[in-house]
Structure 1
Amino acid sequence: MRSLTGVAGCGRMGAPMLRALRAAGLPARGYDVVPMDSPHITDDIAVFSEDLDTLITVVRDIDQTEAVLFGEQNLTAIPSLIRIIICSTLSPRYVRDLRARIPSHISLIDAPMSGAQIAAQEARLSFMLGGDESDLDAAQPLFSAMGKHFHRMGEFGAGMQAKVLNNLLAASNTAMTRLVLDWADDAGLEISALLDLIHTSSGQNWFASGFNSIEFSRDGHAPDNTIAILVKDIASALDAAPENADTSLPETVQRSIAALKPRR
């Protein structure tokens, strides 16, 4: 039986990750509930499951993760499966609890990534990794095919904890950069000149520096877009907040992101 990697969730991130795996010569196929015009992506779970050795989940949220692992797709029941890599950004508490729910012979790695769609398309994602060192070593060829930066954060669940903290900062930068650009419009400043200034000055941040290449930089909040995912990611960070932590600032950022309007 040949070894094969499957990517569940072939949207804006999963599809380019699948392409990167295949471009590196690694046997891989994709699955999505939405039919795709690709010979390497199927909406037939039986076809996807055949010979599946490693499952990479890149679905949107906990509900979709539940469907993939235990529900409609129930991929944890595949006899050939030996490894699950969680790339979706989810609550660290939820991720840690997966260990008790998944058969012990299946190794678990949490590997949320950063860099937006452009980094996935260029195979230069940053992965935040949690899991046993031997499991991470075995899966490294997969990460090397899809990314450029690999941060081993600790045991299973530590990668997700690091990711939601990173995304909390990213969301803060998103909210404040958008506010700054709106105020700059009102002041009559030329936006490209201001972004150039920010990039080389004390206000520099990933969102501002990548404003013209990040695909969602001008979007407003909508239920099915990346801005809404940022709102979800802040909720994941809040779910893992220290006991008695002051959550007023992240909650304010979350409300600001949820209130964003499209920027033309």
Structure 2
Amino acid sequence: MSQKRKVSFLGLGVMGGPIARHIGSAGHTLTIYNRSPARLSAWREANPSLDVRVAESPAEAATGADAVITCVGDDDDLADVVLSPHGVFTQMAAGSVFIDHTTVSPRIARQVAVEARDKGIHCVDAPMTGSQIGAENGTLTLMCGGRKDAIEAARPIMAAYSARVVHVGKAGAGQSAKMANQICIAGIVSALAEAVRFAEASHLDMAKVYEAISGGAAQSWQMDNRWETMVAGEFDFGFAVDWMRKDLGLAIEEGRGLGVSLPVAALVDQFYSEVQAMGGGRQDTSALIRRLPRKGKA
């Protein structure tokens, strides 16, 4: 990137932390903010070569920024860091860029876009897919909602951590596309879990089964990245079950408003509630297999 910007990043979680690192490594002047001091300190310790400014509030982070990026938890978190009296919109200047990577409802995305329009701010709702691996490698896919000029203003910054940027429609459309993405993942992971347990019960060589079926119509990102760890019972990484339940809840609620039935998504959401009850809320979504015990085991 030839043009360097003053970029402020809010939310240094599993996805946000690597994204902020890519932004700083691309040469942008980086300001960071995180509500949890412990997580902020851990991020700084993990990135000692990056010269960053630490802000004490969202408003302070946004002061003087060319672009502000948020990657927080849910609708309430987004409203707090953006629209509240200490939010970023109190300080962002006309012509600056706001990018939100949080998975939230289309409703709040549209509300934020209206507030941004009134202030002359370029606004993009850009939920992402590619999991923690994509964030670490800078190869995320971003599904973006907003005006064309806003997408183009944001694109040079998003290029630092994404492999694909797709403008799917007007404000809120990115969030709707992300819901479609999560609906797909829910069904795929559930079927993959059943396939693994079936193959195990059949006393098959699991590596050979993967080699055979991953080259055909059953292939998926989930199979390529989670088959081996599901077989091994390893889940302490990736996209948390708690967040998937949040996302599926948003999708089911939105579907209800659209008059669209989502029976598989609703069923898998309940499966994930079982995993939460087993203590797996912070484990990767592939932990769904935990509710299917191996043959002969509790």
Classify the TM-score, shorter chain: 0.7 to 0.9
Task: Give TM-score, length-normalised by structure 1.
Answer: 0.86
Give the C-alpha shift of residue 80 in structure 1. Answer: 3.6
For 1:219, what is the secondary structure of its paired residue? coil
**In the aligned structure 2, how far is the partner of 1:209 from the partner of 1:9?**
29
CA contact (8 A) 2:187 2:264 kept: no
C-alpha offsets along residues 45-78 of structure 1, whole Å, 9 cap, x if unaligned? 2653442232111112112212211347422111
- Percent identity over paired residues: 23
In the alignment, which of 223, 231, 235 is matched to residue 219 of structure 1? 235
- State yes or no: 1:232 paired with 2:232: no
CA offset digits 1:229-260 (Å, max 9, x no partner): 11111112122216332232221121123323
Match of 1:24 among 18, 21, 26: 26
Deviation at 1:79, TM superposition (A): 4.4
AA at the equivalent of 1:4: K
Q: 1:188 aligns with which of 193, 197, 203?
A: 203
Task: Report the CA distance between 1:32 and its aligned residue.
Answer: 0.9
Q: 2:120 aligns with which of 102, 105, 108?
A: 105
| C-alpha RMSD over aligned residues | 2.7
The number of aligned residues is: 258
Structure-to-structure mapping, 1:198-209, within 5 angstroms: 198-209=213-224
SS in 2 for 1:17: helix
SS at the partner of 1:210? helix
Asked whether the 8 Å contact 2:11–2:72 carries over to 1, the reply is yes
How far residue 7 of structure 1 moved from its aligned partner, in angstroms, is 1.2
Flag structure 1 segments of 5+ consecutive residues without an equivalent: none
Aligned CA distance change for structure 1 residues 157 and 171 (closer, same or farther; 3 Å): same
Which amino acid letter does the alignment assign opposite residue 164 of structure 2?
Answer: H
Residue matched to 1:258: 273
Asked if 1:91 is matched to 2:117, the reply is no
> Is the radius of gyration larger for structure 1 or structure 2?
2
- Asked if 1:123 corresponds to 2:135, the answer is no
Cα distance between partner residues in 1 of 2:206 and 2:75: 38
TM-score, with length taken from structure 2: 0.77
Shift of 1:214: 8.4
1:55 is paired with a residue whose SS is strand
In 1: Cα distance, 2:24 partner to 2:266 partner:
40
For residue 10 of structure 1, report the CA deviation from its aligned partner: 0.5
